[in-house]
Chain A
């Protein structure tokens, strides 16, 4: 059985009495101890997917579809029950480290809070807890590990704050970790280290991960499988090296060849707005490989092989 299975997830938001359809039939799954990277441009719906799994979407969101975690549909679970799971079994590392931490609380206490969840603890327990937190800090190679506990967020750099958030995510040793853009605020020199640390931690704790990123390099290091998202749809899913080295969907090809090391080729046009309606493939206006079918047909998902699926009319005959 899969650890997480998302089936036909549709999410729309009511914005000023207008329905904005953001996620369209998103299906994905994650096995135990597996990292699925979701890649795509800003505003393609990656973070909304993560938030729906964590059930932290705002109130104007309209969700339909099914999300199974260990066989249970978490969208139908009562809030009380899900709250006990969130943070413990399904943890998250949010985006923007500068705004996700409490500015008036010591970072160590914030990390420890994930375990105590507001329970009062005595001095002895506090000392052991501090040891646990410091242990995590040293694993993430935070400098001055013994003093780090007493720092406030404003005293730390962006990369350090990002690692504090990571330690909040992993301290409860969750089964599933939703990581949103962990390399965005981090300096180029540190980026590779952080991703490698994350990978090592994942192997050690045996947790599965939903790794949301637009950084193809980071995804190539950590991911077992990659799902490519475009305009609220998943257009290609497959094993990481297969997707990166032998992409099938024209959008994936374009994305990879836009990288400086792969030729810096420009994809013409821009992602459509979510308020548009679609009667063709969403990538149709920008596609360089369109065929006569693309005018009339919205593509379905086709399997290239057992693990690799593509949503493009080019592969309708099986390939």
Chain B
């Protein structure tokens, strides 16, 4: 088992004097196997993003444990996290915001390679060229700045950048919700190819059930911070047990 989450909780305090508690993530348990495409669905505000932030170690959970490869990672310090960053990578919803706006795209693509000393100066350009060409971006495009390219291109570069470190777990937080259907198909194909060829496990977060159905093998449904249903995609989509899942499934538009 690659990632194992047990009874994970995160409370936020709000209100005057901070005495009102909001349970953003409430007693969540799930596990992701090696090389598995795991989908997480739920409407906006149900705690999906809080969950990803905790897995990435960006915020500390209030309670519970996150185990990666059998090791507890929820209480690691920043220094201890560094080697793990290479193994757990993320792709976010707004790709343009994940690039440094003051640097060109080549710099952003080469940065992870430099950080982890994966190559020397001479082979760096070759590696960057190779990784962007496999997502269909020509090398000239990398001279541009993040605001000069379209959302679909930016998302492809951010996927290439995440995969360049050969991660074992990729967290995709709504990677296609801002994109057109035709570009969405390109991005999803790319992710499925990475899963097949590099055996990357993925936590695929989306509110679009069609996408999850097409991409994932197992799926969990989240509502108000709790996971209410887990199962294989066929089980959950063909034969939903919870009312809420049925409601979600009803919201899809068949054409």
Given A187-B44, A189-B207, do A264 and B253 touch, yes or no (CB 8 Å)?
Answer: no
List of A residues within 8 angstroms of B252 by Cβ: 192, 217
Which chain A residues in 81-97 approach chain B with CB under 8 Å?
none
A-binding segment of B75-83, B111-119, B163-171, B209-217: B209-217
User: Which one, A41, A190, A217, A221, contacts B182 given CB within 8 A?
Assistant: A41
Chain A at the B interface: SS class = helix
Residues in B with CB closer than 8 Å to A187 are: 43-44, 207
Q: Please judge, given known A-B contacts A259-B210, A264-B189, whether A189 and B251 are in contact too, CB under 8 Å.
A: yes
In B76-97, which residues have CB < 8 Å from any A CB? none
Interface size of A by CB at 8 A reads 28
A214 to B185, CA, bound (A): 14
Q: A259 contacts which chain B residues (CB < 8 A)?
A: 181, 185, 210, 255
Q: What's the count of A-B pairs with C-beta under 8 Å?
A: 77
In whole angstroms, what is the CA distance A267 to B186 when docked?
Answer: 8
Asked if A189 meets B150 with Cβ closer than 8 Å, knowing A221-B253, A267-B185, the reply is: no
Compute how far the CA of A166 lies from the CA of B182 in the bound complex, rounded to whole angstroms: 28
Q: Which B residues from 224 to 255 make CB contacts under 8 A with A? A: 247-248, 251-255
Task: Find out whether the CB atom of B255 lies under 8 angstroms from the CB atom of A260.
Answer: no
A266 touches B189 (CB 8 A): yes
List residues of chain A with CB within 8 A of the CB of B43: 187-189
Check: B125 CB closer than 8 A to any chain A CB.
no
Q: Mark A172-206, 1 if CB is under 8 A from B, else 0.
A: 00000000000000011111110000000000000
**Residues B183-217 near A (CB distance < 8 A):** 183-186, 188-189, 207-211, 213-215
Query: Considering only CB atoms, which chain A residue lies closest to B183 in the complex?
Result: A41
Docked Cα-Cα span, A264 to B211, in Å, equals 9
Contacts of A146 in B (CB 8 A): none
Q: Is B188's CB under 8 angstroms from A264's CB?
A: yes
Establish whether residues A264 and B185, one from each chain, have CB atoms under 8 Å apart when the complex forms.
Answer: yes
Asked if B254 contacts A214 (CB within 8 A), the reply is: no
A192 in contact with B253 (CB, 8 Å): yes
Q: Is B151 an interface residue (CB 8 A)?
A: yes
Question: Bound complex: CA of A258 vs CA of B184, how far in Å?
Answer: 8
Of the residues A43, A191, A216, A221, contact of B181 by C-beta under 8 Å: A216
Interface size on B, residues (CB 8 A): 28
Question: B148 on the interface (CB 8 Å rule)?
Answer: no
A107 to chain B, nearest CB (A): 20
Across-interface contacts of A244 in B (CB, < 8 A): 255
Are A260 and B214 within 8 A (Cβ)?
yes
Report the Cα distance A56→B69, complex, angstroms: 57
In the complex, chain A residues whose CB is within 8 Å of the CB of B181 = 214, 216, 255, 258-259
Assembly CA distance A155 to B253 (angstroms): 29
- CB distance A260 to B150 under 8 Å? no
**Contact pattern, B 117-161, Cβ under 8 Å of A = 1, otherwise 0:** 000000000000000000000000000000000110000000000
CB of A11 closer than 8 Å to a CB of B: no
Q: How far is the CA of A120 from the CA of B216 in the complex (A)?
A: 58
Whether A220 sits at the interface, judged by CB under 8 Å, is yes
Most central of A190, A255, A259, A265 by chain B CB within 10 Å: A259
Given contacts A187-B44, A189-B247, A260-B210, contact A216 B255 (CB under 8 A): yes
| A254 on the B face (CB < 8 A) | yes
Name the B residues within 8 Å of A214 (CB-CB).
180-181
Interface centre among A187, A259, A264 (most CB of B within 10 A): A264
A254 to B183, CA, bound (A): 11
Task: Give min CB distance, B161 to chain A, whole Å.
Answer: 20
Q: Mark A259-283, 1 if CB is under 8 A from B, else 0.
A: 1110011110000000000000000
Residues 38-95 of A at the B interface (beta carbon under 8 Å): 41-43
B95 vs chain A, min Cβ distance (A): 14
Contact of A218 among B44, B209, B253 (CB under 8 A): B253
Most buried by A among B247, B248, B252: B252
Which interface residue of B183, B186, B253 has the most chain A CB atoms within 10 A? Answer: B253
Q: Is the CB of B248 within 8 A of A258?
A: no
Question: Once the chains bind, are B209 and A188 in contact (CB under 8 Å)?
Answer: yes
When C-beta atoms are compared, the residue in chain B nearest to A262 turns out to be: B255
Q: What is the bound-complex CA distance between A10 and B254, given in angstroms? A: 35
Would you list which residues of chain A between 244 and 260 have a CB under 8 Å from chain B? Answer: 244, 254-255, 258-260
Residue contact A191 to B251, C-beta cutoff 8 Å: yes
Q: In the complex the two chains form, what is the Cα distance from A187 to B248 in whole Å? A: 11
Q: List 23 A-B contacts (CB under 8 A).
A: A187-B44, A188-B207, A188-B209, A188-B248, A188-B251, A193-B251, A214-B180, A214-B181, A258-B182, A259-B255, A260-B184, A260-B185, A260-B210, A260-B211, A260-B213, A260-B214, A261-B255, A264-B185, A264-B188, A265-B185, A266-B185, A266-B186, A266-B189
Chain A residues with CB under 8 Å of chain B are 41-43, 157, 187-193, 214, 216-218, 220-221, 244, 254-255, 258-261, 264-267
Q: Known contacts A42-B180, A192-B251, A260-B208; can you find 17 more A-B pairs with CB under 8 A?
A: A41-B182, A43-B150, A188-B208, A188-B209, A189-B248, A190-B251, A191-B251, A214-B180, A216-B255, A217-B253, A259-B255, A260-B185, A260-B211, A260-B213, A260-B214, A266-B186, A267-B182
Closest 7 pairs between A and B when the two form their complex, measured CB to CB:
A217-B253, A258-B185, A260-B214, A260-B210, A220-B255, A188-B207, A41-B180
